[in-house]
């Protein structure tokens, strides 16, 4: 006997309110100006379609981003001109990585809705302690989910259907000011 589709659907809907998956960061707060390892957790596909691509737009002030390669996924890195140049590792930079994308090399490499994976990049956080948002475009073949919604004010993502991934950049702890 088949379970009517609407029952299966309402079971899924009942699970969604409690931040059930989405694309979120594993580490939700980190000190300003410090290196940060951004782990994007991908808990489901677009509806039930398998994930074929993840593209992360880096927030302003996130410096020197580098992706971690993944077997079966092609990497693309897009640089962009900076609104304001900055000195990084002794060099004045006028452009920096603005976008990082992973694309499944073949359909067999795609991430099925029933499986979980993580996409990782590293970089240096802004000097300013403030919430920052990473916009993530999740592609699933012909469909996609654009995790790019940001609240008009504050950091509550309640009521947003596809919020961007939030990171709270907190003041660097006194103890960390002298780390080498
Ligand atoms: Cu979700």
Model pLDDT, residue 88: 79
**2: CA distance to ligand 1 center in Å?**
26
**61: CA distance to ligand 1 center in Å?**
27
Let me know how long the chain is: 180
**15: CA distance to ligand 1 center in Å?**
9
Q: Domains for the chain: give ranges and CATH numbers.
A: 22-175 (2.60.40.2230)
pTM to 2 decimal places: 0.84
Model pLDDT, residue 173: 76
**126: CA distance to ligand 1 center in Å?**
27
**160: CA distance to ligand 1 center in Å?**
11
**138: CA distance to ligand 1 center in Å?**
11
115-141, pLDDT tens digit by residue? Answer: 999 999 999 999 999 999 999 999 999
Question: What's the pLDDT band for 153 if we cut at 50, 70, 90?
Answer: very high
**172: CA distance to ligand 1 center in Å?**
31
98-120, pLDDT tens digit by residue? Answer: 999 999 999 999 999 999 999 99
1-18, pLDDT tens digit by residue? Answer: 444 454 444 444 444 443
**67: CA distance to ligand 1 center in Å?**
23
Model pLDDT, residue 18: 37
**91: CA distance to ligand 1 center in Å?**
40
**27: CA distance to ligand 1 center in Å?**
17
Model pLDDT, residue 15: 45
37-90, pLDDT tens digit by residue? Answer: 999 999 999 999 999 999 999 999 999 999 999 999 999 999 999 988 988 788
Cα-flanking dihedrals φ and ψ of residue 112, to 5°? -60, 150
**140: CA distance to ligand 1 center in Å?**
14
Model pLDDT, residue 164: 98
């Amino acid at each position: 006997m088949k379970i009517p589709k609407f029952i299966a659907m309402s079971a899924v809907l009942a699970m969604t309110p409690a931040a059930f998956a989405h694309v979120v960061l594993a580490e939700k707060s980190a000190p300003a100006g410090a290196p940060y390892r951004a782990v994007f957790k991908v808990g489901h596909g677009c509806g039930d379609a398998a994930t074929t691509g993840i593209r992360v737009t880096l927030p302003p002030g996130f410096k020197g981003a580098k992706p971690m390669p993944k077997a079966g996924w092609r990497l693309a890195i897009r640089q962009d001109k900076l609104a304001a140049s900055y000195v990084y590792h002794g060099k004045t930079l006028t452009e920096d990585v603005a976008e990082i994308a992973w694309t499944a090399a073949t359909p067999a490499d795609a991430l099925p809705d029933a499986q979980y994976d993580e996409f990782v990049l590293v970089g240096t956080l802004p000097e300013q302690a403030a919430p920052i948002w990473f916009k993530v475009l999740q592609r699933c073949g012909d469909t996609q989910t654009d995790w790019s919604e940001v609240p008009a004010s504050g950091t509550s993502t309640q009521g947003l259907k596809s919020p961007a991934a939030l990171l709270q950049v907190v003041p660097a702890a006194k103890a960390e000011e002298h780390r080498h």
